[in-house]
Chains A and B, each alone.
Chain A
Amino acid sequence: MKILVLLSQVPDTTARIAFTENDTRFDANGVQFIVNPYDEWYALVRALELNEASGGSVTTVTVGPADVEPTIRKGLAIGADEAVRIDAQPVDGLQVAELIAAYAKDKGFELILAGKETIDHNGGQVGGMVAELLDLPYVPMASKLDVADGKATVERDVPGGLEVLEAKLPLVLSTAKGMAEQRIPNMRGIMAARTKPLNVSPAGPVTGAAETTKFQLPPAKGAVKLIDAEEAGKLIELLHNEAKVI
């Protein structure tokens, strides 16, 4: 299959979160950037697994400036055939989706996979927007995907249960836990990634629809109130009378 995987660059899970320029920008100083874990562990690995069984190609696409290239090369090291960087500074979900949809249009991708959300913006919206712009079906937060005879069988967790869905290809999915297991790139993959194509595509026109104007860190949490284990029942009383939450 010809599969497109959406990769984002995000700050490492354990990075210190701080803001600069009057709280309008993320402070990238000293922060290590990684491929968004859901894009990498679930979307990319499942794409590779499907093609290992049936043949095909996996292309990754990222919207970002040149400095994301070292990050997205990891996708090639894990096994993608080609990486594409659309040369623009990401501003909001719709802009990113429009750039990706313009790139993907008429290229014959049978599957377009994304992670369920990025761990920085937590929007979970680009996959659905790409699907709408390309007029394709979309399933968010899929935990399982199999393809046979041009048809995909998809599972996803819904509150209190599980849905089993079927859709014809081409199809767009966002992927969640259960889809695949993380792969660590080996030395051969890392060497091969150096010579695989990382192509830059110019950014076309976009709708400016939303922008983040300000960030704020949550107020510092007060110290924990400890209750003696012998009098554990007091916790229930405190939650009822003091916190008033039960």
Chain B
Amino acid sequence: MSVVAFIDTRGSKVPKASAEALTYARRIADAEGGDVVAVTFGDAQGLGALGAHGASKVIVARHVKHVDGQQLTRLVAAVAESSGAKTVVCVHDATGKAVAPRVAARLKAGHVPGALDIPENGQVKRNVFSGKAQAWVLTTSERRVLSLMPNSVAASSDGGEAAVEEFTGDLGAAGVTVKEVKQAGEGIPLPEADIVVSAGRGMKGPEHWGPVEELARTLGAATACSRPVADMDWRPHHEHVGQTGVAIRPNCYIAIGISGAIQHLAGVNQSKVIAVINKDPEAPFFKAADYGIVGDAFEVLPKLIEAAKKLKAEQ
């Protein structure tokens, strides 16, 4: 049975989460004996290369330039109909959240938001209670929509070239117009990062972020921050991780000067390894950490940077 994977391909290279979604779709298609049809939009060139991650065919709607949930839902539903797919894979991110629930409602399909693994006996694992538990969701409808949590499946890239087809059908008018995109630009997008260096109020002020950024740069990590830091405008809001900010699940989360309130943990407790640096030995974060250093951030950071530089020089 074919699997349809709706992915975002905007930007200079294939977003990591999109490669993961194609790999995920490929694993489901292999288990069921079918093809993966990638569905995307916008101007990206070289889409045949998506075959490397598992796509057999790519269908692109060139005339859709931005995320319009209504147009993209019509697109994905049309491809799901024409390819006879029973499974639609999306990414549980800013783009997918605008489209996946709509596709599910349109196709009367069960939706699994934030799927962590491929279905087992029709059941898909996901996080619930803000990461404090996991649940298995059984879809009972004829079709299903699975929104893959970024950083849950390692992207493979051993496939060949995919055929690319342009979608020329009518997708109706856009309901939402994008007036402006303010890009912070530099650095690794936080939800995609394998390593995240995050800092909190313990840094005492925005002027002290230099070493945090230097450590992140050395490790090839993204930078993040706690809620008070974003609220005081020490750091941009899109860096705020936690319950009210972004929820992330990197391989490695290094938290400096963050106490680890339950609301912060809710956004980072899915990280594979957590290292905490805090001068207060009673900071709750140490209970959730794999590694800890009780010490002053301003004394510890230079030592970490030095060790990271040494490690990178050896590699």
Contact = CB atoms under 8 A, between A and B. Distances in A.
Nearest to B129: A17
A12 B111 CA distance: 25
Interface stretch (A65-73, A115-123, A183-191, A193-201): A115-123
A89 interface: no
Contacts of A98: 105
Contacts of B310: 233
B181 to A, nearest CB: 5
A28 interface: no
B64 interface: no
Where chain A touches its partner, the secondary structure class is mixed
A180 B128 CA distance: 25
B177 A131 contact: no
Contacts of A157: 94, 237-238, 246
A100 to B, nearest CB: 11
Interface in A152-185: 153-154, 156-168, 171, 174, 176-178
B112 A119 contact: no
Contacts of B112: 210
Nearest to B112: A210
A138 interface: yes
A20 to B, nearest CB: 13
Interface stretch (B156-164, B182-190, B200-208): B182-190
Nearest to A178: B237
A19 B101 CA distance: 27
Given A210-B137, A216-B133, A222-B290, A94 B70 contact: no
Nearest to A18: B133
A16 B141 CA distance: 33
Contact of B138 (A13, A213, A228): A213
Interface in A110-141: 119-133, 135-141
Interface centre among B129, B179, B237, by most chain A C-beta atoms within 10 angstroms, is B129
A211 B290 CA distance: 34
Interface stretch (A50-58, A76-84, A238-246): A238-246
B185 to A, nearest CB: 7
Interface in B283-304: 286-296, 299-300, 303-304
Contact of A94 (B108, B185, B251): B108
A220 B277 CA distance: 21
B275 to A, nearest CB: 6
A224 B110 contact: no
Contacts of A13: 130, 243, 262-263
A209 B141 contact: yes
Interface centre among A125, A135, A213, A217, by most chain B C-beta atoms within 10 angstroms, is A125
Contacts of B275: 235, 239
B135 interface: yes
A140 B97 contact: yes
B153 interface: no
A232 B130 CA distance: 31
B309 to A, nearest CB: 9
A127 to B, nearest CB: 7
B62 to A, nearest CB: 20
A165 B94 CA distance: 14
A213 B108 CA distance: 20
A202 B150 CA distance: 39
A233 B304 contact: yes
A148 interface: no
A214 interface: yes
B45 interface: no
Contacts of A132: 69-70, 73, 101-103, 105-106
B130 A122 contact: yes
Given A126-B101, A217-B133, 18 more contacts: A17-B132, A94-B109, A120-B129, A128-B105, A132-B73, A132-B102, A132-B105, A138-B175, A140-B94, A154-B176, A162-B238, A163-B181, A166-B179, A212-B128, A218-B132, A224-B291, A226-B293, A232-B277
Interface of B: 68-70, 73, 93-94, 97-106, 108-114, 123, 126-130, 132-141, 144, 175-185, 187, 189-192, 194-195, 219, 237-238, 240, 243-246, 251-252, 262-263, 266, 272-273, 275-277, 286-296, 299-300, 303-304, 306-308, 310-311
27 contacts: A17-B132, A97-B105, A98-B105, A119-B130, A127-B101, A131-B69, A139-B98, A153-B179, A157-B94, A160-B187, A161-B185, A161-B238, A162-B238, A171-B175, A174-B97, A209-B141, A210-B137, A210-B138, A215-B134, A216-B133, A217-B132, A218-B133, A229-B293, A237-B307, A239-B291, A240-B311, A245-B252
